[in-house]
Structure 1
């Protein structure tokens, strides 16, 4: 039975939600003498991906194949495996689990038995899928980068406010005061903007990084 517009809005709200993973998980499996080691890792930016791939670089592996998705952006890499047998199946597993802001890396140590293209697809996609069975999914909260200025005397109060709201920030001290760049959840914007106006008596305002 049709429940009315409120029910429809609830459905649309649920459909529009995006999910990522809470923390890194690992899974390992031997398949026909090859060892497959999978890591599912939450990421927010392409720079995060680059840094993680650098950190997880392992020259002892035969192949390090991966896929990531951040919003609508996707990338995958077969790292020497036959085209379409590694990175793409990993990506398909990410999308099949309706996840975003995630990197899945699968290391392979070749054990001497060839798997064939079908076997490789099943191995990479399968171990990625088993790793994702272990993750805790969380709703992805949209974040935006903002900035503001304040006097030295005002900074301790505003710094306390940022810490209380678990907001990640960087500050830069200059001759006339403090410049702050922060990454906040969208719902925090109005409260923080009002706090800055109150503390600076309307002299300063919260800005987006792209604002003039």
Structure 2
């Protein structure tokens, strides 16, 4: 089961007079990635190398460092920690002593790894979107059920009843489906949408 971070975390270290700073954060989509990189753009750095992973999608950037010496080692630390929906940016302020390709790999990967070691992680629970409808007099019971399990939902009142879209953890779908069938006496069923997190 993959994990993600609870909050943004930073780590800094000096290696042969160069300063490395890693910043790790949660990202749920490419817009989050863009916003994160905009927020942390720093013209004083020599290089800003990064990698991110969201589900099966990965990207990394060496930002002018020799190919494979920065972005890929950062990505390796994300995957090595079984993380997803995470971006790690490593800033470098060059101090005048060249590290060589092996040194760069160790520095970027090591700094990212230390940052992720400090970060608090939580299990990323897969969720699915579901839809169902019920009559007005049935909605209060179902609404109570959703609220008591802290399930996010949107209700839409129509002439023939209430249409509900909710986002549930996988293990919550069946109990809700059974409750809906029970309350509506088998008239309605929960429809699971295709989209996965």
User: Normalising by structure 2, what TM-score?
Assistant: 0.78
Preserved CA contact (<8 Å) 1:90 1:104: no
Cα distance, 1:193–1:70 mapped onto 2, change above 3 Å: same
Ranges of 4+ aligned residues in structure 1 off by more than 6 Å: none
Counterpart of 1:20? 3
Shift of 1:175: 4.3
Q: What is the correspondence of 1:119-198 to structure 2 with a 5 Å cutoff?
A: 119-198=103-182
- Match 1:104 to one of 77, 82, 87: 87
Shift of 1:53: 3.7
Structure 2 Cα separation of the partners of residues 82 and 30 of structure 1: 20
Counterpart of 1:67? 51
Cα distance, 1:67–1:159 mapped onto 2, change above 3 Å: farther
Structure 2 Cα separation of the partners of residues 36 and 175 of structure 1: 61
Runs of at least 5 residues in structure 1 that lack an aligned partner in the other structure:
1-17
Shift of 1:160: 2.3
Cα distance, 1:106–1:22 mapped onto 2, change above 3 Å: closer
Counterpart of 2:72? 88
Structure holding more strand per residue: 2
Shift of 1:92: 1.1
Kindly tell me the number of residue pairs found equivalent between the two proteins: 190
Structure 1 Cα separation of the partners of residues 48 and 183 of structure 2: 51
Preserved CA contact (<8 Å) 2:53 2:87: no
Shift of 1:89: 0.2
Counterpart of 1:54? 35
Preserved CA contact (<8 Å) 1:66 1:103: no
Shift of 1:164: 1.5
Runs of at least 5 residues in structure 2 that lack an aligned partner in the other structure:
none
Preserved CA contact (<8 Å) 1:71 1:100: no
Q: Deviations over 1:144-178 (max 9, x none)?
A: 22222233443333222222212233334444443
User: Normalising by structure 1, what TM-score?
Assistant: 0.73
RMSD: 2.8
Q: Deviations over 1:131-153 (max 9, x none)?
A: 12123444443322222223344
Counterpart of 1:13? none
- Structure number with higher relative contact order (C-alpha < 8 Å, ≥ 6 residues apart): 2
